[in-house]
Amino acid sequence: MTESAAKKLPRIAINERLCKGCSICVDFCPTDVLEMKGSCVAVKNLEACTRCQLCDLRCPDFAIQVFD
Amino acid sequence: MSTTVAEKKEKVSVPFDYNKYLRPNKLPHIWCPGCGHGIVLKAMLRAIDKAGLDKNNIALVSGIGCSSRTPGYVDFNTLHTLHGRALPFATGIKLARPEMKVIVVTGDGDALAIGGNHFIHACRRNIDITVLVFTNATYGMTGGQYSPTTPLESIATTSRYGNIEPPFDTCEMAKASGATFVARGTAYHTLELEKTIHEAITHKGTSVVDIIDACPTYFGRANKFKSATHMMEEIEKDGTVNVKQAANLPPEKLAGKMLRGVLHKVEGPEYCEKYDILIKEKASAKK
């Protein structure tokens, strides 16, 4: 049970209405989880997410948050 | 086993709920993609939450400019006033309602050029107002003219061959004018900025925080920055040093860099308190 809890993936909530596509979150993500899809951010590799919250902290548009 | 999971769940950090301080129907905001003002706004909201302030007891006052659009998006008592005149309005609010927490959000041009006189006199009075100066080194709203903090030789729409005017050091100016709390932060160091704003809000007296953020649309494009990230790394990360680290660094490594963190903090008599004492003294003398 503990093992399955450790493997639990975070949920990255992206608000496409608010995202302006500045790519700050993509550039600052230390484990390269995010990518740009057109003018909006998308999740590329969720397994690599370490829940550091840097994308949330530096997003100027209230568009991305990481839930555990 | 189940208790272990329960304990783990308790430790889980939930992301900050910005919506409780925002007017969500006003979003998306008008700021350009990559503009640092949004990052600063978020740090400010977290700092206000940390200080445990009641949102009905906060007045957020601004002048004109990109940064001055901030009060439109937050659910406090908000005032969007004349260009450069945010501080006189804020002083009025503070004098009428001294129990209120008054925060001024202003741009570098708004605070230091158009409202430069108000800025130095608010600092001189040491009235309990927090001034957050969003320094993006340009007039973004009107098309990228150079501002009082535009670095030498930078390109702006009004300095096509490079700026020849030396910039103001906002912190030195605030300190010299008599502000009792002077600090600098950047949008890049967002957690440090949150702590700095928290300290500024809880300080009694005029507190000034100079916040370096990026204008990728005008300043960035004119000065050959590739992106908002590039600006944040070059200007905010590489262009600043924390004041505590700076104490151990040789002077050649500090050349051309701005200091970050709390630069000046002293206790001094606050204006509203002095005013109250004066009124009480004179009222009792009449009896």
B245-B166-B103-B229 Cα dihedral, nearest 10 degrees: -60
Domain A2-67 belongs in CATH node 3.30.70.3270: no
B-chain CB neighbours of A50 within 8 Å are: none
Query: Regarding beta strands A34-37 and B181-186, do their DSSP bridges make them parallel or antiparallel, or are they unpaired?
Result: unpaired
pLDDT on residue A68: 84
Query: Between A24, A53, A66, which is nearest B229 by CB?
Result: A24
Q: Which parts of chain B fold into alpha helices (H)?
A: 2-11, 37-50, 86-96, 108-109, 116-125, 170-177, 190-202, 221-222, 228-231, 243-246, 251-254, 271-286
pLDDT on residue B285: 86
ipTM value of the model? 0.90
B-chain CB neighbours of A2 within 8 Å are: 1, 4-5, 8
Interatomic CA distance for residues A48 and A10, integer angstroms: 10
A-chain CB neighbours of B18 within 8 Å are: 62
Residue ranges in chain A whose pLDDT is less than 70: 1-7
H or E segment and range at residue A24: helix A24-28
Q: How many residues does chain A have?
A: 68
Structural domains in chain B, sorted by start: 26-250+257-286 (3.40.50.970)
Residue that has been written with the tokens 């709920």 in this structure: B17
Interatomic CA distance for residues B104 and A7, integer angstroms: 45
pLDDT on residue A3: 52
**Collapsed DSSP state (helix, strand, coil) of residue B104:** strand
Check CB contact under 8 Å for B38 and A28: no
The residue ranges of every structural domain in chain A are 2-67
pLDDT on residue B158: 94
pLDDT on residue B6: 47
A-chain CB neighbours of B39 within 8 Å are: 57-60
Check CB contact under 8 Å for B42 and A24: no
Check CB contact under 8 Å for B28 and A58: no
Query: Between B27, B36, B229, which is nearest A28 by CB?
Result: B229
Taking all residues of chain A, what is their mean pLDDT, rounded to a whole number?
89
Interatomic CA distance for residues A54 and B216, integer angstroms: 20
Q: Chain A within 8 Å of B107 (Cβ-Cβ)?
A: no
- Report yes or no: B196 and B262 within 8 Å, Cβ to Cβ: yes
pLDDT digits (tens, 9 = 90+) for B129-145: 999 999 999 999 999 99
Interatomic CA distance for residues B68 and B134, integer angstroms: 9
Burial of B104 (0-12, 13-18, 19+ CB in 10 A): buried
Interface test with B, best of A4, A57, A64, A65 (most B CBs within 10 A): A57
Residue ranges in chain B whose pLDDT is less than 70: 1-13
Q: What angle do CA A61, A63, A64 make, to 5 degrees?
A: 125
Rounded to a whole number of angstroms, the distance from the CA of A23 to the nearest CA of chain B is 8
Check CB contact under 8 Å for B42 and A62: yes
B68-B80-A19-B56 Cα dihedral, nearest 10 degrees: 120
Chain A residue with Cα closest to B2 = A1
Interatomic CA distance for residues A1 and B239, integer angstroms: 48
